[in-house]
Amino acid sequence: MGLANSRFYESGLFFWDHRDATLEDQVLMPIQDAVEMGMTLEYLVTKLSALEYYPDLFTDAFGSTEVTSDKISKALAQFVRSMVSFETKYDEGLPQAGNMFVNFPNFTAEENLGKSIFNGSFRTEPGGNCAVCHMNNDGDPINPGMNLRNQALFMMVSSPRNNGIDPDGNVENTGIGGVNGATLAIGAL
C-alpha cells in the first residue's frame, strides 16, 4: 500500500482490508510478513540493539537506550507521517492548466495519458476510474485555507469501494468484507 500522505487518511485504517487501526500497528506488519521482511520482532530488537549507533539514537528519541518493538513502531510511524507529497510535477501542473481534466503543459504525452486514465469515468473513451475514490470535495486537508474542490488527492478520501478484487470470495484477499463478514463489503478496499 502507498504510504505517502498517510497522516491524512480520513479513516485512519491501514492495509486494503483495514485490519490495522493505527500506523504504529501497520509499520510492524511488513517486518513480520514472510513475503516482505520475514523477521520476528524479537529478532529485530536484538539486531538493532547490537548495532553501536542505535542505543544513542533511541536515547535521543525516547530518553533510554532500550530498544523495544513499541519504540520501533513509534519511530517508524513518525517517519511514515513525515512522507508528505509536496511540490510534485502534478502540483506544478495543476495551476498551470487550471483543471485536472485537461492536459498539463509540464507533463509528457505519456504522463497526460496516465492522468487521463486516472480520471477514468470523466472521459469519453474507456479507461481507469481512480478519481472516483480520490476526488477532493471538501477543500485541501493539508492546507485548509486552500480551495481545491474537485481536484485529485493521491490518498483515499472516501468510503471503501471495490477496485477490482474479485467479490465472489474465491481469492485470498477479499477486502474489508473478509475481515468484518459483511457480504456487501466483499472486495471493497
Residues contacting residue 141 through CB under 8 Å, at least 6 positions apart:
8, 153
In this prediction, residue 146 carries a pLDDT of 47
Phi (first) and psi of residue 82, to 5 degrees: -80, -10
- Within-domain flag for 158: no
Question: Tell me: the pLDDT tens digits for 68-121?
Answer: 999 999 999 999 999 888 788 988 998 888 877 889 999 999 999 888 888 775
Do 65 and 101 reside in the same domain of the chain? no
Do 147 and 93 reside in the same domain of the chain? yes
**Number of CB atoms found within 10 A of residue 184's CB:** 10
Report the predicted TM-score, pTM, of the whole model to 2 decimal places. 0.62
Q: Which domain holds residue 39?
A: 6-81
- Within-domain flag for 95: yes
Q: How confident is the model at residue 58 (pLDDT cuts 50, 70, 90)?
A: very high
The percent of residues above 90 in pLDDT, for the chain, comes to 31
Domain count within the chain: 2
Do 11 and 72 reside in the same domain of the chain? yes
Pairing of strands 151-152, 135-136: antiparallel
Do 58 and 27 reside in the same domain of the chain? yes
Question: Tell me: the pLDDT tens digits for 107-116?
Answer: 999 999 888 8
